[in-house]
Chain A
């Protein structure tokens, strides 16, 4: 027996809608689960007090500071390096064997699991270079991890800049570098920044890399060579060792809110950029 196409069309449409609805439901459920369980424990004191009794009491201020410092180190290194790579790939070279190799390297690096970055950072920064478990080791390892994200997004943004911007600048006698800095980069800036913001998000989410390279000290870090924990690591330890469910939920809620703000900012920036392009 053959089912008429009009019926299969209806069945298909309903099932596909349901599939998509369930994916979105999963997102809403994850966020809702954490916020409902955690927001009621998030107070001003929780955000501004030191971690006491391994996290059973007190707040998460050292973890917040640790997160900010580590992101600062990671992005401080990955952003200039990544944007420079993207400028080279988009503006300074023709497609060929060399770019293919570089692109292959970037793609492979993007696929390397975070635990491998953790092992690498541990052996190179913590042990060999003697930085110990520290913010600097954690930041450097995170920088290696987020580099591909920043390069790819920045290159895409620069490629989207219309040709005539470059032609006009060049015809006015600008050098290649002037073309890049005065004509291409200003136009591509929102896209480039989107990549940087996504890199910040990735750094904040990451646990495996940080735990092996920055350790998990509960004290407030006093220098970049101190061990520190990020919010993700703090949450992981609280949850895994069953130290305090309330504080775990609360930390997760702070973490999720931060991630939401970062991702929504990145997305709206990208979206505005696209819409601006279409209008122009």
Chain B
């Protein structure tokens, strides 16, 4: 009896891997043929996306995803790490106990709500004060920075807590201030954990779809400034999936393959980095 249950539980435990394998299998099966037909180079580095004419170049979307993600990291990482240092080292325990779940709650807000806020509030501000269409790389980066904050803060706090107490005590005993201790001792010791958090946040930014569709403008050209409209890999799939058929649909699955590789690479790096201790 116990043996039977053990087998059953083992099968259940394998379900995650099975699902992951199925996802890879189906996305590849649907997407690989079009990549072979149009050539990997043409697909990845083609500058023209024109499904009606059978032109499937996703370079503008790769560049779009990179811009938007870079923007989100530039804004979100300093803010997130600062929040983590404050909550782990400076804030009174009672305050931290309230603020930490509040920041985690940012992850619970539906991405469509962020997108809506970007459209109604942020994009008009950018349009009026900085010019351009408003729906832009900058708008998307700002919103994504807030969306990845919980990931960065959560993982960074764990990393800071994992630094042995003696490091901190030793530094303070030598007469260093709290800030010197945080900056020179704790942050360097926690850097691999924090880096893992940043990479995971990057994965979230690359993978985010609905908010990005709503606020990035979705133009299919390669952007030239942060005020330009841009389309990301995820947005490309989501926008056209509703009506795509034939080659066009395969090309969207192929876009999914690129996204899948990107995310898998990021996750693998994050896991490697997180396992390294000090």
Contact = CB atoms under 8 A, between A and B. Distances in A.
B178 A9 contact: yes
A101 B21 CA distance: 13
Given A92-B9, A115-B237, A175-B1, A23 B106 contact: yes
B78 to A, nearest CB: 8
Chain A interface residue bracket vs B: 35 or more
A144 interface: yes
A148 B17 CA distance: 11
Interface in A172-215: 175-177, 201, 204-208, 211-212
A111 B83 CA distance: 23
B102 A27 contact: yes
A252 B112 CA distance: 9
Contacts of B206: 113
B210 A207 contact: yes
A57 interface: no
Interface string A138-177: 0000001001100100000000000000000000000111
Contacts of B146: 23, 26, 30
Contact of B14 (A102, A104, A112, A263): A102
Contacts of A5: 176-177, 179-180
Most chain B beta-carbon contacts within 10 A, residue among A88, A101, A267: A88
Interface stretch (B32-40, B53-61, B253-261): B253-261
Most chain A beta-carbon contacts within 10 A, residue among B102, B177, B206, B271: B177
Nearest to A145: B19
Contact of A239 (B112, B253, B271): B112
A92 B105 CA distance: 34
Contacts of B237: 115, 119
B209 A201 contact: no
Contact of A232 (B26, B110, B241): B110
A244 interface: no
A31 B176 CA distance: 40
Interface string A205-237: 111100110000000000000000000100110
Given A107-B271, A113-B263, A177 B1 contact: yes
B115 interface: yes
Given A113-B206, A201-B108, A34 B113 contact: yes
B116 interface: yes
Contact of B2 (A24, A30, A113, A176): A176
Nearest to A29: B117
B101 interface: yes
B15 A124 contact: no
Interface stretch (A10-18, A40-48, A58-66, A68-76): A10-18
A239 B214 contact: yes
A52 interface: no
Contact of B10 (A6, A34, A92, A201): A92
A138 B153 CA distance: 31
Nearest to B8: A84
A119 B253 contact: yes
Contact of B20 (A23, A93, A105, A206): A105
Chain B interface residue bracket vs A: 35 or more
Interface stretch (B86-94, B124-132, B163-171, B220-228): B86-94
B23 A116 contact: yes
A207 B2 CA distance: 41
B82 interface: yes
Contact of A116 (B9, B85, B260): B260
B52 interface: no
B276 to A, nearest CB: 16
B82 A111 contact: no
B216 interface: no
B173 interface: no
A81 B12 contact: yes
Interface of B: 1-2, 5-6, 8-10, 12-17, 19-20, 22-23, 26-27, 30, 78-80, 82-83, 85-87, 90-91, 99, 101-106, 108-117, 119-121, 146, 149, 153, 176-180, 182-183, 200, 203, 206-210, 213-214, 234, 237-238, 241, 252-253, 256, 259-260, 263-264, 266-267, 270-271
Interface of A: 5-6, 8-9, 12-13, 15-17, 19-20, 22-24, 26-27, 30-31, 33-34, 80-81, 84-85, 87-89, 92-93, 101-102, 104-109, 111-120, 122-124, 144, 147-148, 151, 175-177, 201, 204-208, 211-212, 232, 235-236, 239-240, 248, 252, 255-256, 259-260, 262-263, 267
Task: Give me the 3 closest cross-chain CB pairs, A-B, nearest first.
Answer: A113-B207, A105-B17, A84-B12
